[in-house]
Structure 1
């Protein structure tokens, strides 16, 4: 575990950014990025408005790395109109669709992290099909139902280098505290033997690649 300290200005930027990442879990992301970032690039699946990207970008800066963050910016299922986490200020009235990209750009610019955080705008599955770059760290935090979580894992985890980190968010063993799809995929990962768990922080799980395949 890294002993790095996140700069106060970036802590402030992360806390004020729109999003759902609890600060303690965000700091765990930052520390994981500092630890694994020197080995290569970091990839985030599920950008939303950039809150977690600030934590990752702060870690990437200290590690001399970079964060690629992938999202179509039209919103995952659980933040669409009619769902509890929907934010109507993110709706684009011209198309009747969500658009979190302008807010993300503002978040990253305000944090001064435009050199460290690179947005890739597109569906995760489509981008994964074109991806060839080895990853030192992969953070999966896109759609939280069964299909998107499974596709994010299967599409992106093969690119994590040996000794690299795979991080899941919203892992809830108790169905009463949250959705179960990330938890089921997380259990599948552990059962595969390709990754071992090295850290827990709230609903965040950090796993390190120790073997071939993804299970």
Structure 2
């Protein structure tokens, strides 16, 4: 049972299974006493709420990194495009308004720090060690590799690296997160903690 979980959590837009959400919460709860958590790819904040509720118990912080213009698959005409999140006046996807609304409703404004940027810009002068990094951003190989290379160097020893949307079958889903997961496992820098559904978990050695 997760304390203070919003009653409407299942109505929040997102792509997170219940067992994956529980695993994120449990690992964030364990790690956030040591330092902050970074989420890459917040979308409308469903996963952010689970991370935030865990971090709030230790008066810790979730840095929620997202440019809020949607990934490749969210763009106009693509399979996961949501017209409710499209700003027709600008001709752009805009998930930030929905994200902020969900953080406010979950009472997480003092726990979650939105970082509205891409990985490269945000990481350029980053100095804060991270207790957990959750990669759930763009699913192109270029985007997934950039997220991995920008942020794993800031992960503390003993910290958790979580990577979402792992599919070994290309017919089931995109392959870029799975390729990054295999790269991390082969690097010798991580202990493989296995998978929960499509969520891969590793511990920095």
TM-score under structure 1 length normalisation: 0.92
Q: Mapping of 1:39-54 within 5 angstroms?
A: 39-54=34-49
Which of the numbers 170, 173, 176 marks the counterpart of 2:168? 173
Contact 2:191 2:202 in 1 (8 A): yes
Residue 186 of structure 2 is aligned to residue 161 of structure 1: no
1:196 alignment partner, SS class: strand
Higher helix proportion, which one? Answer: 1
Contact 1:14 1:52 in 2 (8 A): no
Give, in whole Å, the separation in 2 of the partners of 1:198 and 1:109: 33
Contact 1:13 1:54 in 2 (8 A): no
Q: How many residues align?
A: 205
Q: Mapping of 1:6-17 within 5 angstroms?
A: 6-7=2-3, 9-17=4-12
Unaligned runs of 5+ in 1: 211-215
2:197 alignment counterpart: 202
Contact 1:137 1:160 in 2 (8 A): yes
Give, in whole Å, the separation in 2 of the partners of 1:68 and 1:24: 22
Give, in whole Å, the separation in 2 of the partners of 1:27 and 1:13: 16
Give, in whole Å, the separation in 1 of the partners of 2:171 and 2:118: 30
1:171 alignment partner, SS class: coil
Contact 2:6 2:106 in 1 (8 A): no
Give, in whole Å, the separation in 1 of the partners of 2:173 and 2:66: 22
Which of the numbers 119, 123, 131 marks the counterpart of 1:128? 123
Give, in whole Å, the separation in 2 of the partners of 1:119 and 1:26: 20
Contact 2:167 2:174 in 1 (8 A): yes
Shift of 1:124: 1.6
1:189 alignment counterpart: 184
Q: Mapping of 1:31-180 within 5 angstroms?
A: 31-180=26-175
TM-score under structure 2 length normalisation: 0.96
RMSD between aligned alpha carbons?
A: 1.1
Unaligned runs of 5+ in 2: none
Shift of 1:13: 4.3
